[in-house]
Amino acid sequence: MKLALVNNVRSYATKGAKGSCPFCGSDVIAKCGTIKTDHWAHKGVRNCDPWWENETDWHRAWKDNFRADWQEVIAHDEATGEKHIADIKTDYGLVLEFQHSHLNPIERSSREKFYKNMIWVVDGTRLKRDYPRFEKAKQDFRVTNKQGIFIVDFPDECFPSAWINNRVPVIFDFKGTDVIVDAKDSRNYLYMLYPKSAARHRFVAIITREFFVDCIISGNLFAKKQETQKQVVTPPAPNRRVAARSQYVFHKGRYVRRWRF
Ligand SMILES: [Zn+2]
């Protein structure tokens, strides 16, 4: 973990420092070496939150795009008493989880249920075959009338199967921590797979990293989306008073001309 409690203050790891885990309260020690970035580690082998993943440089680089007080936030479920550490939790309630290692679909689904308002960011470089496979399938993306949004007819040929039954957006990052010189290389972009719907085809948005980070920080894209979801579209209810004054009245589920009565 990146932040631990030292005298009750969330602090970064410094050489020789001792602290306590903000989650389970057990002792943690600072690990400051030359190979891995500075972090805190539990004295025991096991981590306290079973969902907690050993941090890679890729994790760290992603987290550092956001405010320190949004990083490693304890998320509670009041109803079940369950709690977990969210990689990022914004002050408007959105959770980002950065996933490097394999996650089975049942586990993925239970985390989606726990966090509800969340986005996955997946390290697409873990398996060497995933990017070439994606690159090939990407040639069949179909354009839509919205710029940057595409239709994918066969999502299972495009993305790792563990991710395609997602109920929340999944962002694939095929660049990882690599440095890519060619500006046209498609790994410079992020690919957001929209949540699964009733339709067989799926939607994918191609976005830049900067755009994604800006959207999260400002709350623009995703806060707006929540508002839209809250708007319940109901068919216009028959307004009897208005109908009575007009020459139409609502009768047996439709408006009919008054003179029929
Ligand atoms: Zn702990």
- What is the full DSSP assignment across 3-43? EEEETTEEEE--TT-EEE-TTT--EEEEE--SSSPSEEEES
What local confidence, expressed as pLDDT, does residue 260 receive?
Answer: 40
What local confidence, expressed as pLDDT, does residue 46 receive?
Answer: 66
Which residue from 186, 88, 190 is spatially nearest to 135, judged by alpha carbons?
186
47 CA to middle of ligand 1, Å?
A: 6
6 CA to middle of ligand 1, Å?
A: 14
What local confidence, expressed as pLDDT, does residue 245 receive?
Answer: 47
What local confidence, expressed as pLDDT, does residue 233 receive?
Answer: 47
107 CA to middle of ligand 1, Å?
A: 20
Given a cut of 50, the residues of the chain with pLDDT beneath it are 224, 226-235, 237, 239-245, 259-261
Amino acid at 211: F
30 CA to middle of ligand 1, Å?
A: 13
Which residue from 18, 16, 19, 17 is spatially nearest to 8, judged by alpha carbons?
19
195 and 177 Cβ atoms separated by less than 8 Å: no
The pTM for the full model equals 0.79
What local confidence, expressed as pLDDT, does residue 261 receive?
Answer: 34
pLDDT digits (tens, 9 = 90+) for 201-260: 999 999 999 999 999 999 887 654 544 444 444 445 454 444 444 555 555 656 555 544
Helix (H, G, I), strand (E, B) or coil at 186: helix
Burial class of residue 82 in the structure, from the number of CB atoms within 10 Å of its CB (0-12 exposed, 13-18 middle, 19+ buried): exposed
What local confidence, expressed as pLDDT, does residue 246 receive?
Answer: 52
What local confidence, expressed as pLDDT, does residue 12 receive?
Answer: 93
1 CA to middle of ligand 1, Å?
A: 9
The stretches of the chain forming alpha helices (DSSP H) are 57-63, 105-115, 130-138, 209-218, 220-230, 240-245
